[in-house]
């Protein structure tokens, strides 16, 4: 069966809890998944480290990466640039890992266009009020930023139906398991197993000829 890694995009409203979900998935299945680390021009939040949450770089450095085609995709999100470095993603996919990009919708659609086999997952809290409460409760953003993230969430809600699966993040453990099962189920899709099907058809023809 399919041994190549699957490229997976995980999007979700800011405050949907997708970051925690990803960390948990990665720590439970470290040999199955690789999480791409994006480059961004935004400043680190308290507790964030260069090379762990993001590569925090200047606008100049970001523009150089664009010019050298070192990003699979990039987008502008609330006044900053965010982009996916190409090298890591290609290396991990070829090693057979399922590679996760945690990116917003504009980037997700660009990736899907460039790589049509990409699996698109959208994480949402059970309802809108919970989303606002999580953003306020995080305590890391100013009210202005929270407002622009809620505005942005309204825009992103319009794009939810471009995704393959919705993942409602009500309970962390259950949600991690659900996500893992969805992704692993994808490996069985016929379009991801063209070589396997070709081989089985050829073998059957051969066996038929031998009878
Ligand atoms: P935050 O500033 O909260 O870390 O991220 C803001 C948004 O940017 C999130 O929706 C996040 O998923 C998205 N994002 C992070 N990295 C990338 C990237 O490489 N490309 C794109 N298009 N979006 C990204």
Give a yes or no: residue 55 inside a domain: no
Give a yes or no: residue 91 inside a domain: no
CATH number for the domain that contains residue 138: 3.40.50.300
Nearest CA residue ID for atom 11, ligand 1? 103
**Entry pTM:** 0.88
pLDDT given for residue 130 in this prediction? 86
Q: Encode pLDDT of 109-152 as tens digits.
A: 999 999 999 999 999 998 888 888 887 877 777 888 888 888 88
pLDDT exceeds cutoff 90 at 48: yes
Cα(3) to ligand 1 centroid in Å equals 28
Q: Encode pLDDT of 72-99 as tens digits.
A: 999 998 889 999 999 999 999 999 999 9
pLDDT given for residue 140 in this prediction? 75
Average pLDDT value for residue range 172-184: 96
Which domain does 113 fall in, by range? 7-36+97-210
Give a yes or no: residue 16 inside a domain: yes
Nearest CA residue ID for atom 21, ligand 1? 103
Structural domains counted in the chain = 1
Give a yes or no: residue 80 inside a domain: no
Give a yes or no: residue 102 inside a domain: yes
Give a yes or no: residue 69 inside a domain: no
DSSP output for 8-63: EEEEE-TTSSHHHHHHHHHHH-TTTEEEPPEEESSPPPTT--BTTTEEE--HHHHH
Give a yes or no: residue 52 inside a domain: no
Q: Which atom of ligand 1 is nearest to the CA of 12?
A: 10
Give a yes or no: residue 84 inside a domain: no
Average pLDDT value for residue range 180-201: 95
């Amino acid at each position: 069966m399919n041994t190549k890694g699957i490229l997976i995009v995980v999007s979700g409203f800011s405050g949907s809890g997708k970051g925690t979900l990803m960390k948990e998935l990665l720590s439970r299945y470290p040999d199955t998944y690789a999480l791409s680390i994006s480059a961004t021009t935004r400043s680190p939040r308290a507790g964030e480290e260069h090379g762990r949450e993001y590569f925090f770089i200047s606008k100049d450095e970001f523009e150089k990466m664009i010019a050298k085609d070192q990003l699979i995709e990039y987008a502008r999100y609330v006044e900053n640039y965010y982009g996916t470095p190409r090298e890591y993603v290609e290396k991990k996919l070829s090693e057979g890992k399922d590679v996760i990009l945690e990116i917003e919708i504009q980037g997700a659609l660009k990736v899907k266009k460039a790589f049509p086999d990409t699996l698109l997952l959208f994480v949402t809290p059970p309802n809108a009020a919970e989303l606002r409460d999580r953003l306020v409760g995080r305590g890391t953003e100013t009210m202005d930023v929270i407002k622009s993230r809620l505005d942005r969430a309204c825009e992103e809600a319009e794009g939810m139906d471009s995704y393959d699966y919705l993942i409602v993040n009500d309970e962390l453990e259950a949600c991690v398991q659900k996500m893992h099962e969805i992704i692993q189920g994808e490996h069985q899709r016929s379009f991801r197993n063209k070589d396997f099907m070709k081989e089985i058809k050829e073998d059957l023809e051969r066996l038929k000829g031998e009878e």
